[in-house]
Structure 1
Amino acid sequence: MPALSGVSRIAGVDEAGRGPLAGPVVAAAVILNPNQPLTGLADSKTLSATQREQLDREIRANALGYAIALVSAADIDRENILNASLRAMREAVHALRPPAHRALIDGNRCPLDLCCPAEAIVRGDAREPAISAASILAKVARDALMVELDAQYPGYGFARHKGYPTRVHLETLQRLGPCPEHRLSFAPVRKLLDPLECF
């Protein structure tokens, strides 16, 4: 969708998937269209899957711009989850077309080397509509990826728990061991690789 002339393009930025034991971390950046306000935007964690998917379609159809970026489990192990999350957010902002004039980042720190000024907002996904929209796109995109990984690595239940450390996931890890999408640097997975390690 073309940018509106004279409109300051403010991007909301958020990520999904910092806590799981498997799969990528996914970030989204969204520039909402002030002439097409969306109702129902909220922190993605407070919405049902059906609500998120409906809003995902509306955001994609009406936003001035959006972009999604991910960092793989292997790169999370190399960089650590904080740096991987910040990189995914930076890449999402840089991929926006049209580019953002300013970015509002969910959390308490901003990625370095952004292409525009940025402000970190704690609990921004519940306070800023553009960040709420980004949280929804990131969550829906990541959930879809985990469903794909469930087909690629059957038996782990990724489609159900999305890689989070549920009881079922932990029991499956004990039984099957990690797959290539598991984050080997995360304690519950690392412990399986080195049972003598203490935490």
Structure 2
Amino acid sequence: MKNPPYTPILAQRRRSALICLAVLVVITFCMGLWQLGRAHDKQILIAQLAKQEALAPLPWAKGIPPLFRPIKLIGQWLPQAEILLDHRIEAGQIGYHVITPFQLSDQSIVLINRGWWPDTRPPKTSDNTIVNAQPWPRYIELANTQPTGHIFQNINPARFAAWSKLPQPHTYALIQEGERGLIVQHSQPAIPPERHLGYTATWWGMSLVGVFLWIRFKRETRL
């Protein structure tokens, strides 16, 4: 097929198309670099978590503990204010996260995720008080759903305090070892490094397609 006749307007349109395509190639390449950097950062974070979690538990009776540091809480469980987070999935099965408050010696509250359980009758608390302090979990909530009894869809310090009539918890933690069949949650990034590497491959694949189209379009058009 012959090229269409040359006109200044058509030439300008061809230049504009090539420029736009080149910009898209640059953008997708930079997005791939960004995802590659994210994967690297996640790998560093996982290594730091592993180093912290390997430390001996630190006795803790008051105040806000350091993040990701194993601590042995000093105080008492408050099982009467235990809640369940609904619709939590483990190995393809829907169940609950069991969240039990712990009152430190200074009367402050720590909310502890004791693990996953398949029904609304989880095991009672044991003497295990070794936990890892965590950032407060971020939940996606489409509506302000009120709790049903002690079953919540999502939780934050103010919501828990309003329901339990206890002080607002200042720390969220994961129990370090499973107890009585509960499946322990682990402090890993929500998006693992491998997924970021997959995103990198996708963006750079788009870059290669863009380069191929740019070269082909350039050859088949006259400027």
Bucket of the pairwise TM-score, normalised by the shorter protein: under 0.3
Bigger strand share: 2
Bigger helix share: 1
Larger radius of gyration: 2
Q: TM-score, normalised by structure 2?
A: 0.24
